[in-house]
Amino acid sequence: MPKGLAILTSGGDSAGMNPAVKCAVEYANQKGYQTHLVYDGLRGLIADNIVPATRDLVSGLLHRGGTLLRSSRSPEFFDIEVRRKAYENLVRRGIGNLIVIGGDGSFRALNQFHSDFGIPFAGIPATIDNDIAGTDYCLGVDTALNVIRESVDSIRDTASSFSRAFVIEVMGRHCGYLALTSALACGAEICLVPEIPYDLESIGARLKHDIANGRRYVIAVVAEGTKMGDYLTRWINDSIGMEARLTVLGHVQRGGSPTVQDRIMAYKFAVAAVDALDAGQKNSIMVFRDGSYSHLPIHQVTDSKYKLDPAIIRLASPLAC
């Protein structure tokens, strides 16, 4: 198999992608690979938007959020003839290995590509939702949590000043990790996520008791997947009798300079990915579980459903009742 190696980012962007790209290039170069960068994700593979990974292209990446390689949605990649064009682009450049930094959708696409043409790949988990099975951590999560923490701390100041309730909606379509973790870290009074049944009547009784005993403001954190942001805001106004405001944090959670944790995790994932390819692994995903780094065959990741840590659910459950 050719010693060329290409690196791409795919799916939703997250802080930690850029450090992973830089570290993967530098470590792969040390191992004797001729490294390349793919711009625009899967679409870049198809369009041959591939360039040698020169030093100047990866300099100054550690502190940059998002992905300078850019990303894209590429439904055309499901067409075998389109994938063949991507394969021919790689062959022409002598590239026989891929590292993809993204989520399980990106991993599935590369696994199909491997099945078609035999190009080995290693996947680095990167999504702020932290919802990839088999790993306790995905790149970008710590940075996103710190963005949320800073926002909630700022909102708390004005909530206290005006004796108001604030509902903060965070990302997480199917996974409540960001909401649960930030609610605990920020001392929220309410947390609604898809994984935990909630009881508004019980929440209301608890808050009325707290208000009667001196509580002057309320902070609620909800995952976007619950679709409860607007409703909860109106409910607090009408049922609790406290003026409430809704703040949707949105895509600000994906940006920001990567934290120390995300930079170090990016480095360790990148090294593990290059080592996996160097050892002959064909389609493995890098994972961090119980404090250790390893890799899993892709089917063990994509065929499993991510589950929240039961310990976090136990800690946060009182905020939903």
pLDDT of residue 2: 64
Residue 139 φ then ψ, to 5°: -60, 140
Catalytic residue check, 142: no
pLDDT number for residue 73: 81
Confidence at residue 252, expressed as pLDDT on a 0 to 100 scale: 95
Specify the pLDDT at position 1.
Answer: 53
Alpha helices in the chain (DSSP H): 17-30, 41-47, 55-58, 80-92, 104-117, 141-162, 177-186, 200-212, 229-235, 260-278, 298-302, 310-316
Q: CA-CA distance, 167 to 94, in Å (whole number)?
A: 53
Assess whether the region 4-140+258-305 and the region 141-254 belong to the same CATH fold: yes
3-state secondary structure (DSSP) of residue 2: coil
Q: Which of 40, 129, 142, 262 is catalytic?
A: 129
Q: Rounded distance, CA 268 to CA 126, Å?
A: 13
Report how far residue 145's alpha carbon sits from residue 139's, in angstroms, rounded to the nearest whole number. 12
Tell me what pLDDT residue 114 has: 95
pLDDT at position 302 is 87
If one counts every other C-beta atom within 10 angstroms of the C-beta of residue 68, the result is 18
Furthest C-alpha separation in the chain: 73
Provide CB contacts within 8 A for 65, sequence distance 6+: 15, 18, 143, 254, 255, 256, 257, 258
CATH number at 141-254: 3.40.50.460
Q: Which residue has the tokens 């992905």?
A: 67
Distance separating alpha carbons of residues 66 and 289, to the nearest angstrom = 25
d(CA 275, CA 282): 12
pTM: 0.95
The domain limits of the chain are 4-140+258-305, 141-254
Give CA–CA dist 320/135, Å, rounded: 26
- pLDDT, averaged per 10 consecutive residues of the chain (321 residues), comes to 89 96 98 97 97 96 95 90 97 97 93 96 97 96 98 96 97 94 98 96 97 97 97 97 97 96 98 97 95 93 91 95 95
Residue 282 carries which side chain, given as an amino acid letter? K
Phi then psi for residue 50, to 5 deg, are -125, 130
| The residue to which tokens 């039961």 are assigned | 310
How buried is residue 168: exposed, middle or buried, by Cβ count under 10 Å (0-12/13-18/19+)?
buried
What six digits make up the tokens of 311? 């310990």
Q: Token pair for residue 101?
A: 């930094």
CATH: 3.40.50.720, 3.60.21.10, 3.30.930.10, 3.40.50.450. Which one for 4-140+258-305?
Answer: 3.40.50.450
Contacts of 171 (CB under 8 A, 6+ apart): 128, 129, 144, 178, 223, 224, 249, 250, 253, 254
Structure confidence at residue 148 (pLDDT) = 98
Q: Is 26 left (phi over 0), alpha (psi -120 to 50) or beta?
A: alpha
* Rounded CA separation 183/32 (Å): 46
Question: Helices in 118-199 by DSSP H: which ranges?
Answer: 141-162, 177-186
